[in-house]
Every structure is written in structure tokens, then in C-alpha cells.
Amino acid sequence: MEVLNYDIIIVGTGLAGLRAAVEICRKNSRVKVALISKVQIMRAHSVCAEGGTAAVLHPEDGDSFELHAWDTIKGADFLADQDVVMHFVKICPEEMYLLDHWGIPWSRKEDGRINQRPFGGHTYPRATFAEDKTGFFEMQTLYDRLQMYENWDRFEEVFVTKLFIEDGKFHGLFAYDMLNGKFLVLKGKTVILATGGGGRIYAFTTFSHAVTGDGLALAYREGVPLKNMEFMQFHPTGLVPSGILMTEACRGEGGQLRNNKGERFMDRYAPEKMELAPRDIIARAEMTEILEGRGFKGPDGLDYVHLDLTHLGREKILERLPLIREVTMSYIGLDPIEKPIPVRPAQHYTMGGIDVDIDGRSKVPNLFAAGEVACNTLHGANRLGTNSTAECIVWGRITGEKALEFVENEKFEPEIPEGKIKDEEKRIVEFMQKDGKESIYQLRKELRQTMDRYVGVFRDEEGLKTAVNKIREIKQRFKNIKVHDKGMYYNTDLTTALELENMIDVAEVVAVGALERKESRGAHARRDYTKRDDKNYLKHTVAEYTPEGPRISYRDVKITIWKPVERKY
């Protein structure tokens, strides 16, 4: 076992993690920074973001901070903290121009200005884009920038298993170095969790296989609350049968949704916005069409509707949506220039996350979270497209600043009791030696199917109770798992088991939170409580860990400008 010392530890190397690292290194070349990723750094899921990043870049053409904020708050079904939203929209343009100066190849207008496209729920086309590979180019730009600095170390293919919280502060973490077959202990004066959401607790999802809620579960088990976890976003256009994201930019560029009668059905659900309504509204519209028999029969029950780009023409598709064409041709042998694409709602985003404040700081003063793993209440009950990559970059910067301030201003030397290190080492070794009868792969399959079936686009009390009971049954069966591989080098049986442990905890919080919230708001649509209930549930859900399951409480939403009104599009 190796014990290493750092000033700042960043867990996760997507947009939020890389932006935090750049901010720290560019401001202080003396602090020691560790970047930890359970995959290779540039394999973080952020590279999959396609459509764009929201920012007010052209106020001279009619956009404004107030308009971006209003769109975000209305899109959130009024569950967003409005001070957080205003803080966010004002920083977004600064970050877009900074990326521009650092060399990102933004798509341009004919006059040379940065181009922007329409996106769902936005009243102005403010999605700043680089073809349909925005996340990849943002990641590449940040990674390239990071190469200018020398005060950081990389830990790739390293799986964090425990955070050490002592006397109310973070002191370090325990990790399994898959590549080198050993355990690591990293002591740190502060940590930034940037590990992404929990998309893989669902079977039909747009998310990469690595997105298993690890950071969420690590913080939750150490007493850091999770917030608003019942609000899971379902993207309307997941490719059937894989779930691969067909970016909202398809509709931003003029793509249309059609049922098996050839009808452009969104005029029944959002006549003003049509295909550019917020995602929760379109996802429910698609599922209604499918459930009422106006969808197309798909494999394994994955019935679908059509995303039609054929009228856009070859030239526009090749210029604006080249990745979409490449993906559909590679995965299903379909050319969207010639034929419509089969799509249905797929789990896409975790609106909830680790309970943090406007600076990304949790109840543990030196534990920060940024990006999708965090819930600073920007997205409320439903995230608008392009606000996620913006959130990652904005709070990557903010948490980088605040973590650096902590290190520079606080006299704090991390210490981890030797006994606790030995306990975690023993736990992981025992995990590896488990020789029970339950298959981790079968349990994972059952968990994900349960979430798809009972905690999806539409929910009700009976289904949610079934889900909670099933998750808790899986939790008990998990104690009797078998880990076949007993070796230390690249033991994917072990990491899959550790991921499943995290997925079970996260799924339980999601299902219990959904059961307790007896209303419909944003992405949380109850068939038995179909109306929004501001009197009882204009509140954030806070889930705290107990051995018996999450303890649920509520916290008021911060309303500073706009009072809730009926949400129409």
C-alpha cells in the first residue's frame, strides 16, 4: 500500500474536474494537485456531450441574463434556487470566451461571431456549439490547457472506495489502483468530487458504462446528504436499441418527431414550442404516444417514435450533425439523410446530487462537488439542455477557486487513523474473496430493469413501493455475492461489485424520494398525483444515510425574483 500527500484531490476528470484543475494550477503553481479517474482521463463521459453549452453571448440581438435565468427557472418547474441561477448565467459567457481564447473550435457565423443554435425550453438560441461534438472539444481544450502546468499528478484507472471524514473534515481517501494491482491512500487538505451522475442504475440510458453513481454513494455513506435525487431526466431521443444519445441539436436544427401515423404529434402537447419544449414534456409526450398505440414496435419492448431529419437535407446534416449520421450508420445501419431515426426516452441526467451550496461546498467544509454529481439546485425538477456542460465548467471554476482558498487560508494537516486505513483494506480484500451464490451481473441486471419499469417517465405509488422493496431485496442478496477473480491486477469483477454496491445505494435514494414526493413536478410525473403541489412540495428533498435506508427531509426553495406560475409551452 502506498500513502501519498496532496493539497487538493480531484476525483473525476470530466469537464468539471478538468476545469477545476486548470483553475487551481493557473492561480497557484505551488499547490500539489491529484487527478483521479477510474477510466483514462479523456474517456470521461463529458466527451459524449453533443449539442452545445448555454451562454448569453449576443445581448445585442435580444438575449439577456434575465431571459436565460427565467428560462432555466421555468424549465426547472420552479424548484431551482433563483440566486444560484442568476450567479450561473452571469459566469457562463466568461467561460465560453475563455475557452475560445484557449483554442476551442467553436462553430462560427458568417460574420465570424461564435454561432449558437436553438435548444428546448430556451426562448433564445443560446446553445454555443462545435458541430455536434461540443463536449469532446471542450474536454480536449481543457486537457490541452492543463499540459501547461506541472503541479498535478494523474491517477488513471484508479477506483476510489472510501472517503475519510475525521472530526467533520475530509482528510483523504482509499483507492484501488487497477492498473498496478495495489491499494493507494491519498491524504488531502481538500477534495473536489466531480464523478458525474448515476445514469447506469437504469438499463436504457444514454450514459457510459462507468457512470455508476460512485461519488454520490461515497459522500452519502459518510454522512453528506444527497438532494433532489428523485428528479431523473429522461432524454426524448435515445437511439433504439442502444440508448445512445441523439442530441437535442437534431431538433434545434429543425428535426421533427413523428408517430406511426406520420403525425408531428408535439402540437398536442406543446403547441408553441413543439419539438423545442423542455425534455420532461417531450419525454412524456413520446411515452403517451407509445402507450396509446401510436408508436412503432421495437425490440425487447423498446417501442419507439421517429426523429425525422430527412427534410433538413444532406448539406446541413453533414455540416451541423456529422456525429449523429456517423453513429446511426455505425450502430443500426441507417442513414438519417434518407430515413428517420428510431428513438424513445432514455435516462439521461441526474438533476439531484450531493447537497452543496452556491460555491459547491458540502456540509463538510473542505469537501466540494461540481458537475452532475453535485446538486446546487440549479436545475430544480428539470434541466434545460445545454445548461449541464455550462454547469460543469462554471462550477469547475468555482470549486477550484474555493478549494484553493481553503488550502491557502486554513492551517490544516490531514491525518487518517491507521486503524481506519487497515479496516478499509480488509473490507476490500474480503470483498474480493466473496464466494457466495449471487451473481453480481444478475443483480445489476435486476436493479436496472426495476428502475426502468417502476421509476421511469411515469410513476405511481404501487410501482414505487415495488421498486423500493425490490432494491432492498437486492441489497440483502448483495451480501451473498460471488467475486470470481481473486487477483489484484485489473480485477473487473471486483470493480463491478463495488460499482453495484454504489448503484444500489443511489437507486434506493431515488426510489424512496420519488415515493415520498406526492406530486408531479418536472421530470417526476406521478399518475396518482398528477398536479404540481406548491403548498406542500415547493421544497428540495434531502436524503441522509441510515443503515435502514435514506431519511427524508425537506428544505425551502430560494425565490428571489419570480414566483411560481403555471408552466406552459
What pLDDT band is residue 19 in, cutting at 50, 70 and 90? very high
Contact 382, 233 (CB under 8 A): yes
pLDDT of residue 543: 98
Q: Tell me, yes or no, whether 196 and 257 share the same domain.
A: no
The sign of the torsion formed by the CA atoms of 274, 277, 279, 281 equals: negative
* Per-residue confidence (pLDDT) for residue 98, from 0 to 100: 98
553 belongs to a structural domain: no
> Is pLDDT at 430 greater than 90 in this prediction?
yes
Question: Does residue 288 sit in the same domain as residue 367?
Answer: no
Q: How does residue 51 score in pLDDT terms, banded at 50, 70 and 90?
A: confident
Strand pairing report for 374-375 and 353-355: parallel
- pLDDT confidence tier of residue 292, bands split at 50, 70 and 90: very high
Q: Mean of the pLDDT values across residues 427-441?
A: 95
Residue 426: exposure state from Cβ atoms within 10 A (0-12, 13-18, ≥19): exposed
AA letter at 404: L
For residue 226, the model assigns a pLDDT of 98
| Whether residue 373 is found in the same domain as residue 404 | yes
Q: 374 forms bridges with which residues in the sheet?
A: 354
CATH (domain of 449):
1.20.58.100
Q: Which of 483, 382, 378, 365 is nearest to 435 (CA)?
A: 483
The verdict on 180 and 280 lying in the same domain is no
Establish if 507 belongs to a structural domain.
Answer: yes
Question: What is the structure's pLDDT at 132?
Answer: 87
- pLDDT for the residue 564: 97
| 464 and 484 part of one domain | yes
Whether residue 542 lies inside any domain: the answer is no
Residues 6 and 97 occupy one common structural domain: yes
Q: Average pLDDT in the 458-471 region? A: 98
* 364, 383, 409 - which closes a domain: 409
Name the domain count of the chain: 3
**Do both 336 and 369 map to the same domain?**
no
| Judgement on whether residues 135 and 251 belong to the same structural domain of the protein | no
Q: How confident is the model at residue 50 (pLDDT cuts 50, 70, 90)?
A: confident
Q: How confident is the model at residue 95 (pLDDT cuts 50, 70, 90)?
A: very high
Same domain, 272 and 210: no
Average pLDDT over residues 388-413: 97
Whether 340 and 355 share a structural domain: no
**What is the DSSP secondary-structure string of 453-507?**
HHSSSEE-HHHHHHHHHHHHHHHHHGGGEE-----STT-HHHHHHHHHHHHHHHH
d(CA 238, CA 283): 10
- On whether residue 562 sits in a domain, the answer given is no
- Alpha carbon 412 to chain centroid, angstroms: 32
Average pLDDT, the chain: 96
CA distance 56 to 125: 9
517: containing domain: 418-529
Q: Read off the pLDDT of residues 497-506 as tens digits, 9 standing for 90 and up.
A: 999 999 999 9
Assess whether pLDDT exceeds 90 at residue 48: no
- Which secondary structure element, helix H or strand E, spans residue 319, and what is its range? helix 314-320
The H or E element containing residue 159 is strand 158-166
Q: For residue 135, give the 3-state DSSP assignment.
A: helix
**Mean pLDDT in residue range 471-478:** 98
Is 281's pLDDT higher than 90? yes
Whole-number pLDDT of residue 145: 97
pLDDT value for 128: 97
Instruction: Reply yes or no on whether the pLDDT at 140 is more than 90.
Output: yes
Contact 47, 135 (CB under 8 A): yes
Q: Render pLDDT for 198-255 as a digit per residue (tens, 0 to 9).
A: 999 999 999 999 999 999 999 999 999 999 999 999 999 999 999 999 999 999 999 9
Maximum CA extent, the chain? 68
End-of-domain residue from the set 383, 409, 435: 409
**Domain contains 564:** no
Query: How far, CA to CA in Å, does 17 sit from each of 47, 128, 192, 312?
Result: 13, 21, 8, 37
The whole-number average pLDDT for the span 145-172 is 97
Query: Tell me, what's the pLDDT at 562?
Result: 97
What confidence score (pLDDT) does residue 500 get?
98
| Residue 550 counted as domain residue | no
Mean pLDDT confidence for 77-92: 98
* pLDDT at residue 64 in the model: 97
- What is the rounded (10 degree) CA torsion for 449, 455, 459, 463? 60
Tell whether 367 and 473 lie within a shared domain.
no
Same domain, 509 and 428: yes
Domain end point (choices 345, 376, 398): 345
Give the DSSP H or E segment for 542: strand 539-544
Contact 176, 487 (CB under 8 A): no
Q: What is the CATH number of the domain that holds 307?
A: 3.90.700.10
Would you name the residues annotated as active-site residues? 235, 251
Q: How many residues does the chain have?
A: 569
What local confidence, expressed as pLDDT, does residue 216 receive? 98
pLDDT exceeds 90 at position 35: yes
Q: Quote the pTM value.
A: 0.95
